[in-house]
Amino acid sequence: MKALVLGGYGLIGAACLRALKKAGFSVTGLGRDAEAAQKVAPDDDWIIRDITKLSVDDWRRLTAEMDVVVNASGALQDGARDSLQAIHITAVERLVSALNGTPVRLVHISAVGASETAGLDFFATKGKGDAAIRKSSADWVILRPALVIGPEAYGGTALLRAAAAMPLVTPHLFPRIAIQTVFLDDVAQAVVQAASGRIPAGTLADLTEPRGRSLPDTIAMMRRWLGFPEPLATLPVPRPLLTLLAKGADALGHLGWRSPLRTNALAALADGIEGDPGPWRRAGGAPCRPLDETLAAMPATVQERWFARLYLLFPLGVGLLSLFWALSGAIGLVQLDAAAAVLTESGMAQGPARIAVLAGSVADIGLGFAILWRPWVRAACLGMVLVSLAYLAGGSLATPDLWVDPLGPFVKVLPSISLALFVAAIAKDR
């Protein structure tokens, strides 16, 4: 059987792709990012297309020889790269129009809490996409996972790890709401069951563990799993601070950052994540494991602990680099004559000295702002390294005495280079 997996390099999509291959399917992935696709599954077949731009006829051509289409694509919130309307509704409507009257089975990954009348746009758009499928004549199964926990850390699962890794303290928020989780492998196996025809057509089911727990208890379990010591204190997180963080994360979303602290993610947590495992069991689905069994099935290693800590440090590194380079360039412009005097005292003519300082300041400011645009992070970091090396090389020729200056203007460049290399090394989120 042939399967097409939409969003095949995402957290759920990649797991579905692997599970379907293991079950004997001939699998093709579909996504818009060729680099991400090759990193996740370099030996697999890929179709590099943006699903929001595919017409009904495009879908007919892409699915003509398929037996199963697994839709694991999705977005948490509108941003520079994502439109909830386009991904969750328009693309789904066009896909089911192409599948109407065909024997191709559609296995659609939705979310616990999806509803056309939901107050949160993520759940509302998911619900409208689900409704379009349910009204169609296609052969469909809709699966709605709870909070997905797996070996790969992304989005909410990354945030849980980071919260569990906070040194000395643990955050205390939303203590009265319940969180239910589902093991990523259980989601993938549910997709295999549905794709193989072992789940009846027209099934709409939540994928979730039997019972949930509070968010603080969930974080505590993750902390023990990671092997970190018990916190010395809990740190209450006031709602106004969460709101402020969410607004900031929303603003960064327009620069391409998919932060799990955005409004939709926090609102979903505040409402709780609860589903009903009953319909899935009645449809013949294998039961989903509780969180303690999920964690036992994927023992934490040093890589997990490194990631959990680095996830907190990465945005700090980006922010510090942006501030350092933008301020450095701005100070150079404001103190243009004083900066040029350092070069003229070493024998450089006044005109070239001013041009050198001006060009350096503009480059510094440009790099300081470029690193804030998510697709440019690695390029900006490497640019910072190259500019720093050029600065040290040129400065060593023009003013070698600055290497022994008590304030260390050259020596202090070396930690900046290290920080830029560190951020560049961990910039990829897939």
Q: Are 304 and 161 in contact (CB under 8 A)?
A: yes
What pLDDT, on the 0 to 100 scale, is given for residue 260? 67
Greater pLDDT, 72 or 430? 72
Percent of the chain with pLDDT over 70: 97
Q: Would you list the DSSP string of 60-118?
A: HHHHTT-SEEEE----SS--SS--HIIIIIIHHHHHHHHHTTSS-EEEEE--TT--TT-
Q: Which of 1-15, 188-202, 223-237, 263-277 is least confident?
A: 263-277
Q: What is the pLDDT of residues 361-419, one digit of tens each?
A: 999 999 999 999 988 999 999 999 999 998 888 878 877 877 777 767 788 889 999 99
What pLDDT, on the 0 to 100 scale, is given for residue 419? 94
Q: Are 325 and 365 in contact (CB under 8 A)?
A: yes
95-123 mean pLDDT: 93
CB within 8 Å of 199: residues ≥ 6 apart: 141, 190, 193, 283, 284, 285
What pLDDT, on the 0 to 100 scale, is given for residue 55? 96
* Residue 307: C-alpha distances to residues 148, 152, 163, 236, 301 (Å): 18, 10, 12, 24, 10
47-65 mean pLDDT: 95
29-53 mean pLDDT: 90
Q: How many residues does the chain have?
A: 430
Cα–Cα distance measured from residue 73 to residue 231, given in angstroms and rounded to the nearest whole number: 37
* pLDDT classification of 207: cutoffs 50, 70, 90: very high
79-86 mean pLDDT: 79
Mean of per-residue pLDDT scores for the chain? 89
Q: Are 185 and 297 in contact (CB under 8 A)?
A: yes
137-162 mean pLDDT: 88
227-235 mean pLDDT: 91
Q: Would you list the DSSP string of 358-426?
A: HHHHHHHHHHHHHTTSGGGHHHHHHHHHHHHHHHHHHHHHH-GGGGG-TT-TTTTHHHHHHHHHHHHHT
Cα–Cα distance measured from residue 261 to residue 154, given in angstroms and rounded to the nearest whole number: 12
What pLDDT, on the 0 to 100 scale, is given for residue 369? 95
124-130 mean pLDDT: 95
Residue with tokens 């024998």: 347
Extract the runs of DSSP E, i.e. beta strands, from 229-364: 233-236
Cα–Cα distance measured from residue 398 to residue 344, given in angstroms and rounded to the nearest whole number: 9
Q: What is the pLDDT of residues 154-173, one digit of tens each?
A: 777 788 888 899 888 988 88
Q: Does 340 score more than 90 pLDDT? A: no
What pLDDT, on the 0 to 100 scale, is given for residue 326? 95
What pLDDT, on the 0 to 100 scale, is given for residue 364? 92
280-294 mean pLDDT: 96
Greater pLDDT, 51 or 395? 51
DSSP H stretches of helix in 196-262: 215-226, 239-253
Distance of alpha carbon 219 from its chain centroid, rounded? 19
What pLDDT, on the 0 to 100 scale, is given for residue 405? 75
Cα–Cα distance measured from residue 95 to residue 72, given in angstroms and rounded to the nearest whole number: 13
Q: Which of 79-83, 113-117, 208-212, 389-393 is least confident?
A: 79-83
Greater pLDDT, 340 or 110? 110
Q: What is the pLDDT of residues 404-419, one digit of tens each?
A: 777 677 888 899 999 9
Percent of the chain with pLDDT over 90: 57
